[in-house]
C-alpha cells in the first residue's frame, strides 16, 4: 500500500525519544557515524539529508525502524519553527545578531569587499571554554566569502 | 537654548560619512581607541555607549563636532533596523541560525545543562581564514554560560 | 458513502513517496506524459490540474490508487506554504527578486510601456549550464507582455 | 562642515528625474558605462555600489553633482521597499515564484543535489521575444550552484 | 449521543466532492433551488445559511446525508481562508481593489455623499461577455448606499 | 539645479486641494480630457501615468504648475496606503471579496476553465441605480479572461 | 484512567449543537439559570467559568454529559478566534471602535480624569429598539471607572 | 499658489491645543454647534466631515484660521492610529469586544436573524452613571439592524 | 515499540485535569516537592525541566503515569502560546511593561550602568497584600544584574 | 498664532538632554517633586500627565521652557515604541512574562478567583538588592485585584 514518507519532524521526535531513553548523547551519535556533532544534531532534527548508511547506523544505535531510516534520507525544506525563535537559549543568538549584525556587515565589506559569508559552504562549531568567572559557550561560524560577481 | 541630543542614528551617519571621506577603516578607528574592532564598529553604529575619552578621540580623528561626541556617549536602545534584516550579508547569519539554532540549543543543554549563552557577558570576533578554494569569513560568538538558577 | 476528495497536498505527499521509493526522477515522469518538466513537477505538487489521462498515467507509473488520480485533476487553489519561503533553495529566488525586481520593472516599462509580464500566459524552464568555475542553474521566466488597456 | 552622505534612495530619485528630463533610457546609460543593463539599473536604484569612474560618468551624462557621485559608490544595504512588492509589475514575479518555487527546488535537487542557486554569483537578463500572439518578456536568472558542503 | 454539528468547511468539502463526481455544475445546483448562482455557490462554500428546504434539496441532488443538511443551515462566521487570498484567480480582485478602491471611494462620495456601499444589502453577479480579442469576465457588485446618519 | 520629480502622492494632494477649492467634480475633470471617470480619478490619485496632453489639460483646468504636469506623467508604482484599507467605504469592497471571492473563483473555473480575470486588460465602472428602498451603488469589473497557458 | 478536561471550545461546540437540535434559544438557557443573557452566552462559548450548579442545569437542559459539566466550570483563557474578527457581524463593532474609540477616550478623560472604563467590573447588554425606519440593535457597555492611582 | 489642504490630523492637533489653552470642554464645543458630543469630538479628531457653518463656528470659538475651517470639511479616510489601539483607555473596549463579541453575534442572530448592526446608520453615546462602589462609564452603541438581503 | 515522548503541553493538560479532579492547589503540589510555588507551577505548565524525583512525586500525588513522569523531565523550548497573551489576566502584565518598561530601563542604567536584569538567574514571587480598599496582587521579579562586559 | 502642543515624545527628548547635560539623576528629579521615582521617570517619558506645579518644577530644575511645561501636563496616549521592545534591557521583562505569565495567571486564580491584577490601580518599584554573587535588580508590581463582577 502506498503511504507518505514519515515527516522529518516526526522522525526527529522519535530520534529524540530514543536518544533520551537509551541515555545517549548527540556527541556519541555523531561519533558513531564519524560526522561533526553540530552537523549530526542538525541532520537528525531534520535540517540535512543523511546518506542511507548513516541513517541506518543511527537507527540501529537507537533501535528505530525503517520508516525513520527512510525519512532521515529525505531532502529537507529548511526552516525554524516560529515558537522556537522565542526560546531564550535560541533567542540570545538572534539578539546578538540584531546587536552586532550591522557591524559584521561593515567589517565583511571592509575586509573582503561587496559580498557575503556563505551559509551553504559553511560550518558551525560549538565548544566549552573554561573561564574562572564561569565557563563560556563558544560558537564559530565559518563560511566561504562570496563576492557579488555578475 | 535647550535642544535634544543628536540621535545615535544620525551620529552614526556622520561617522560613516567622515570615515569614508577620510579614507579610514573601522580597524584604524578601533586601533586609535585601543578597543576590539567589532565592539568599536557596533558602538559607532549606535549599539554601545562610549566613554567621553573614546568619543572625543574618534571625533578628533574624524573631524566631527561636539554634538557627535555627546551622542556617542548616550545609552543606546539596542535594535536592528527592520530593512537591514533582509540585506543578504546580514540575512545569511539569520538563515544560519534558523538552520542550526535548534541544534546549538540541544548541544548547549547537553554540555552545560539547562541555560543559555549570555548575549551580555559576550564578545564577537571576525577574521579572515585563507583557504585554497576561496578565503573564508570566520565569526566567533563567545558568551558566558548562564544556568537557569532560581 | 460520500467522502471528500483527497486534498492535493496529500496526493503530492503520496506522489513524492512513491517517486522516491521507485527511484524515478521528475524528468522521467514528465517524459512519460510528454509535458515540460517544471509544469509536471508543479502539477504533481498541486499547482496545476491534470487531465484524467495524465493523472492516470502518472498513477500507473507510480503504483498509486484512484483517489490520487481524482485529486490530481482537481482545480487547485495556488499558494506556497509559508514555511517553504524561508527554505534557502527557495529563498534565494525571492532575494534575487527583492534585489532586482524594481530594476526589472523599470526595464519592462522602458521596453514595453506600462504593463506587466503575465504570470498566467507564462512558462518557466530550468537547465544546467556547465561552467569551469562550477556549473550554474539557469531559470527562464517567459510570459506574455500585457499592457494596461482600459 | 560634516554632513551625512546622500542616501542612495535620494540619489536614485535624482537619477530618475534627470534620466526622464533628458530623455535617456536605462539602456543608454548602461551603454555609456559598458555594463549590463539590469546591473546598471539596479545599481542606480541603489542595489550595487559603483566604481568612482562609473559614478562620475553617469553623473556627467545626467548633469548631476558630486553628492550623487559619492552616494552611488556607497556600499548598499539591499532591500525592497514593502510598497513595491504589491505593484502588479513586480508582484507577478513573486506570484510566479509562489506557484513554481517548490517545483524549482525539487528540480535543483534532482539535477545538482542538496544546495542552492547562488543569488550572489548571479546575473539576470531581460529581453523581448517576438510572438505572433503578442510579444513576451523573457527574464533569465543565472546563478552558480552551491552545494551544502560542510 | 451528543456530537457537534459538522463544520461548514467539511460540509463544503463533501458538497464539492459530490458535485464533481456527479458531474454537476454550480449553475445546475442553483437552478434546482431557484436561487442566484453566486449566492448558491457562496452558501454551499459556507458563507450563507440555507433554509431547511434548500439544504435538503441540494443534499438529495448530490446524494449527501443529514449531517450535511444540518450543517448547511448553520449560521456562518464569514471569513476567507488566508491561503486563498494569494490564489491568482482570487488575488486579481484584491489587486483591482488596491488599484481602484480609493478612486471608487472618491466617486461614491461625489455621487452620494459621505457613506458606503452596503456589503449586506448587496448582491454579486458574474457573466461572460463575448469579445473578439477574447471573452471577458464581468462581475457586478450592487449594494445599497448607506449614508453616515447619526 | 537637479531636483527629484514631485512624488505622485504629493501631486494627488495638490489636485485634490485645487479640485475642491474650484468646486470641480471628478466627472468634470474626466469630461475635460474625454476619459472614463474611474480611470481619470485613479490616474490623478497616482495609479496610472497620463499623457503629456492630458496632464497639461488637467493642470490648466485646476491652475496647477509644471511640477504637477511632470509628476502626473510618471510611471506609477501601484499600491494602496495601508490606512485606507480600513476606511469603511473601501473596506466594504474587501469584505465583499472575502465573502464572495471563493465563489467567484469557482464560477470563473466553471465557465471559462483554469485561469483568471485579468486586472490589467481590465476596466471598472461605477453608477447609481435608483431603487425605491434607497439608491444603490453599482460597480462593474470587466476583465479579459486569461487561461493558464504554458 | 487520566484524561485531559474537555477543552472549552469543544464543550461550546457540543452546547451549540444541542441548543440548535432542541430548538432552544440562548435566552431560554439564560432564564433557566437566572443569569443575564450576554453573560450566559459568553460563558457557554467559553469566556466565563460557571458554577457547578449552573453547569449541571445547562447540561441537563441540553442533554449533555459530565465531561461538558466539568469543562464549563474550567477557568478560561479569554481570547477571540482570529477568523471571527473578520466576520461582518463582529467586525462592525471593531470598526465602530476604530472610528469612535479616540473620541470615547477624550470624553472619558474629560468627564472622569485620567483612567479607564474597567472591562472586568463590567457588564454588557443587548436589546432591540423598534424604529419606523427599521429596528435597531442597542448594545450597552457599563464598566466601573478606574483612575490611574499610584 | 496652490497648496495641499491641511491634513485632518494636523487640524485635530490645532483644535486640541486651542481647546486646552482656552479651557474649553468637548461638551462646550458640541453645545456651540448643537451636535451630539461624541459625534462632535470624533469629527474634530478627523472622523467626520463638518459643514462649512459648523467648521467656521468651531474655528471662531477656538481662534483658529481658515486652513482649519477648510480641513474640517474634508471627507475623511476613517482609521485609528495603530499606536492608539494599545492605549489602555481605548484597549479596554477592544478587549471587551474580544471577550463578548462572539456572544453579541449569537444574540443578534437569535433576535434579528442573519445580519449585522450597522456601523454607518449608527450613533454612540457616553454618560456617567453614579454608583456607590464608584461611578461607572456607560457607552451605548445604537445601530440599525441590516439583514443579509440579496 | 518506539514512540515519541509525550509533549510537555499534553503532560500539562493531564496535570491540570488531575489537579482539579483531586481538589489540589498548586501550592500543595509545590509543598509536596519543597519547591517555590511559581517555579513549580511554571515547571508543570512545561517551562522548566523537573528532576526524576520531583516528577515522580508529582505524578504519584496526582495519580498520573510514567509517560507524564518522562515528559516532565524533558528540556523545554520555552514560549507562550499566542492566544494566552490576550487573556486579560496575562495581558495586564504586558500592558504594565509597555507603560513602565522604558522607565525601568532608565532606572536600571541609572543605578547599575549599561546592562540588564537577567531573566535566567532570576526568580519570581507572588503574594496577596491585604488592603482596606481591596486586597492586592504583589509580584516580585528578582534577577541578577548583568553588565555589558566585552 | 495657533500652534500644536509639543508632542510628549519631543518633550521627553528635551528632558533627557537637559537631565544629562546638567548631571541630574531621575531620582533627584523625583525627589524635587516628591513623587515615586518610577512614576516620575514614566511621566517624564510621556506616560503620565503631570500637574502644572510638578511640570513647572521639573522645567525650572532642568532649564526648560513653557512649551515643555505645557506638554508634560497633556493627557498621554500610552504605548511603547515597537523598537524599544527588542532592546535587551526591556526585552528580558517581556521574556520573563512569556515564561512565567501563565503560571502567574494560575496562581492569581488560585488565590483570588477569576479576575486580574489591575494595571491602573497599580504601582511599580525598583531597587538594588546586594548579593555576594552580584547585586540584583528587584522589581515589584503591586496592583489591586479586580474580580470579574457582572
Compute the nearest-CA separation of E80 from chain C (Å). 13
Residue with cell 517517486: C19
In chain H, what residues touch G90 (CB-CB under 8 Å)?
Answer: 97, 101-102, 104-105
Given a contact as 3+ CB pairs under 8 Å, which chains touch E? C, D, F, G, H
Domains in chain E (CATH in brackets) are: 8-72 (1.10.260.40), 82-147 (3.30.1160.10)
- DSSP for A64-80, please give it: --HHHHHHHTSPP----
The residue-averaged pLDDT of I34-46 equals 98
ipTM associated with this complex: 0.97
How confident is the model at residue H42, as a pLDDT? 98
pLDDT digits (tens, 9 = 90+) for G57-78: 999 999 999 999 999 999 999 9
pLDDT digits (tens, 9 = 90+) for D56-79: 999 999 999 999 999 999 999 999
State how far the Cα of H135 lies from the Cα of H129, in Å rounded to an integer.
6
Which candidate in C43, C113, C146 is best for mutational testing of the F interface (most F CBs within 10 A)? Answer: C146
Q: Which of C95, C98, C127, C136 is catalytic?
A: C95
pLDDT < 50 positions in chain G:
none
pLDDT digits (tens, 9 = 90+) for C40-54: 999 999 999 999 999
| Residue (of G88, E100, H81, H124) closest to F92 by Cα position | G88
How confident is the model at residue C1, as a pLDDT? 52
**Model confidence band, residue D1 (pLDDT cutoffs 50, 70, 90):** low
pLDDT digits (tens, 9 = 90+) for I14-26: 999 999 999 999 9
Identify the contact set of chain I against chain G, taking CB-CB distances under 8 A: 10, 13-14, 16-18, 20, 62-65, 68, 83-84, 86-88, 90
Handedness of CA D43, D45, D47, D53 (dihedral sign): positive
pLDDT digits (tens, 9 = 90+) for F73-99: 999 999 999 989 999 999 999 999 999
* H helical segments located in J45-87: 52-62, 66-72
Identify the contact set of chain H against chain I, taking CB-CB distances under 8 A: 86, 88, 91, 95, 98-99
Mean pLDDT across chain G: 97
Compute the nearest-CA separation of C11 from chain D (Å). 15
State how far the Cα of D137 lies from the Cα of D90, in Å rounded to an integer.
13
- Going along D1-135, which residue ranges are E strands? 115-129
Q: How many CB atoms lie within 10 A of CB G42?
A: 25
Q: B97, A78: Cβ pair inside 8 Å?
A: no
Cα D140 to its chain centre, rounded Å, is 13
Handedness of CA J50, G111, G145, J104 (dihedral sign): negative
Cβ proximity of J108 and I119 under 8 Å: no
**Model confidence band, residue A1 (pLDDT cutoffs 50, 70, 90):** low
pLDDT digits (tens, 9 = 90+) for D82-102: 989 999 999 999 999 999 999
State how far the Cα of F139 lies from the Cα of E104, in Å rounded to an integer.
9
Cα distances (Å, whole numbers) of residue E64 to E51, E72, G17: 16, 11, 19
pLDDT < 50 positions in chain C:
none
- Look at residue B1 and tell me whether its pLDDT is greater than 60: no
How confident is the model at residue H35, as a pLDDT? 98
Vertex H33: Cα angle to H31 and H34 (nearest 5): 60
3-state helix, strand, coil in chain I (%, to 5): 50, 20, 30
* H helical segments located in chain B: 8-21, 26-33, 37-44, 52-62, 66-72, 88-112
State how far the Cα of F12 lies from the Cα of F24, in Å rounded to an integer.
15
Handedness of CA C38, C39, C42, C45 (dihedral sign): negative
Which candidate in C94, C95, C96 is best for mutational testing of the B interface (most B CBs within 10 A)? Answer: C95
State how far the Cα of H117 lies from the Cα of H107, in Å rounded to an integer.
11
State how far the Cα of G8 lies from the Cα of G72, in Å rounded to an integer.
7
State how far the Cα of A128 lies from the Cα of A135, in Å rounded to an integer.
7
How confident is the model at residue H2, as a pLDDT? 84
Q: Which of J9, J22, J78, J95 is catalytic?
A: J95
pLDDT digits (tens, 9 = 90+) for B115-145: 999 999 999 999 999 999 999 999 999 999 9
SS3 state of residue E147: strand
The residue-averaged pLDDT of I92-109 equals 98
State how far the Cα of F11 lies from the Cα of D10, in Å rounded to an integer.
18
3-state helix, strand, coil in chain J (%, to 5): 50, 20, 30
State how far the Cα of F106 lies from the Cα of H51, in Å rounded to an integer.
46
State how far the Cα of I39 lies from the Cα of B144, in Å rounded to an integer.
24
Contacts for I113 with CB less than 8 Å, ≥ 6 apart: I147
Mean pLDDT across chain I: 97
Of G86, G95, G98, the CB nearest to F98: G86
Active site residues of D: 92, 95, 118
pLDDT digits (tens, 9 = 90+) for H70-116: 999 999 999 999 989 999 999 999 999 999 999 999 999 999 999 99
State how far the Cα of I94 lies from the Cα of G113, in Å rounded to an integer.
23
State how far the Cα of B100 lies from the Cα of A94, in Å rounded to an integer.
12
| Residue (of H85, I36, I106) closest to J124 by Cα position | I106
**Model confidence band, residue B7 (pLDDT cutoffs 50, 70, 90):** very high
State how far the Cα of G21 lies from the Cα of G63, in Å rounded to an integer.
11
State how far the Cα of C65 lies from the Cα of A67, in Å rounded to an integer.
21
**Model confidence band, residue J2 (pLDDT cutoffs 50, 70, 90):** confident
How confident is the model at residue J1, as a pLDDT? 52
How confident is the model at residue E18, as a pLDDT? 98
Mean pLDDT across chain J: 97
Q: G74, I18: Cβ pair inside 8 Å?
A: no
Rg (CA), chain F: 18
Percentage above 70 pLDDT, chain H = 99
Active site residues of A: 92, 95, 118
**Model confidence band, residue D2 (pLDDT cutoffs 50, 70, 90):** confident
State how far the Cα of C55 lies from the Cα of C33, in Å rounded to an integer.
9
In chain I, what residues touch J129 (CB-CB under 8 Å)?
Answer: 142
pLDDT digits (tens, 9 = 90+) for H45-65: 999 999 999 999 999 999 999
How confident is the model at residue A131, as a pLDDT? 98
Contacts for A55 with CB less than 8 Å, ≥ 6 apart: A68, A69, A70, A72, A73
Burial classification of residue A85, based on how many CB atoms lie within 10 Å of its CB (0-12 exposed, 13-18 middle, 19 or more buried): middle
How confident is the model at residue A2, as a pLDDT? 84
Given a contact as 3+ CB pairs under 8 Å, which chains touch H? E, F, G, I, J
pLDDT < 50 positions in chain E:
none
The residue-averaged pLDDT of I76-91 equals 96
State how far the Cα of D135 lies from the Cα of C112, in Å rounded to an integer.
9
Cα distances (Å, whole numbers) of residue I133 to D120, I130, J143, J147: 66, 9, 12, 13
Mean pLDDT across chain F: 97
Reduce the secondary structure of chain G to three states and give it as a string. CCCCCCCHHHHHHHHHHHHHHCCCCHHHHHHHHCCCHHHHHHHHCCCCCCCHHHHHHHHHHHCCCHHHHHHHCCCCCCCCCHHHHHCHHHHHHHHHHHHHHHHHHHHHHHHHCCEEEEEEEEEEEEEEECCCCCCEEEEEEEEEEEECEC
- Look at residue I1 and tell me whether its pLDDT is greater than 80: no
Percentage above 90 pLDDT, chain A = 97
pLDDT digits (tens, 9 = 90+) for G104-126: 999 999 999 999 999 999 999 99
Amino acid at each position: 500500500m502506498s503511504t507518505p514518507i514519515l515527516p522529518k519532524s516526526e522522525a526527529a521526535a522519535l530520534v529524540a525519544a530514543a536518544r533520551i531513553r537509551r541515555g545517549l548523547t548527540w556527541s556519541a551519535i555523531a561519533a558513531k557515524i564519524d560526522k561533526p556533532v553540530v552537523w549530526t544534531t542538525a541532520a537528525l532534527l531534520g535540517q540535512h539529508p543523511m546518506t542511507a548508511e548513516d541513517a541506518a547506523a543511527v537507527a540501529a544505535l537507537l533501535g528505530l525502524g525503517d520508516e525513520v531510516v527512510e525519512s532521515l534520507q529525505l531532502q529537507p525544506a529548511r526552516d525554524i519553527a516560529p515558537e522556537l525563535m522565542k526560546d531564550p537559549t535560541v533567542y540570545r543568538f538572534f539578539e546578538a545578531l540584531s546587536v552586532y549584525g550591522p557591524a559584521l556587515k561593515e567589517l565583511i565589506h571592509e575586509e573582503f569587499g561587496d559580498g557575503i559569508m556563505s551559509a551553504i559552504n559553511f560550518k558551525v562549531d560549538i565548544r566549552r571554554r573554561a573561564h574562572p568567572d564561569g565557563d563560556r559557550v563558544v560558537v564559530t561560524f565559518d563560511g566561504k566569502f562570496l563576492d557579488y560577481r555578475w
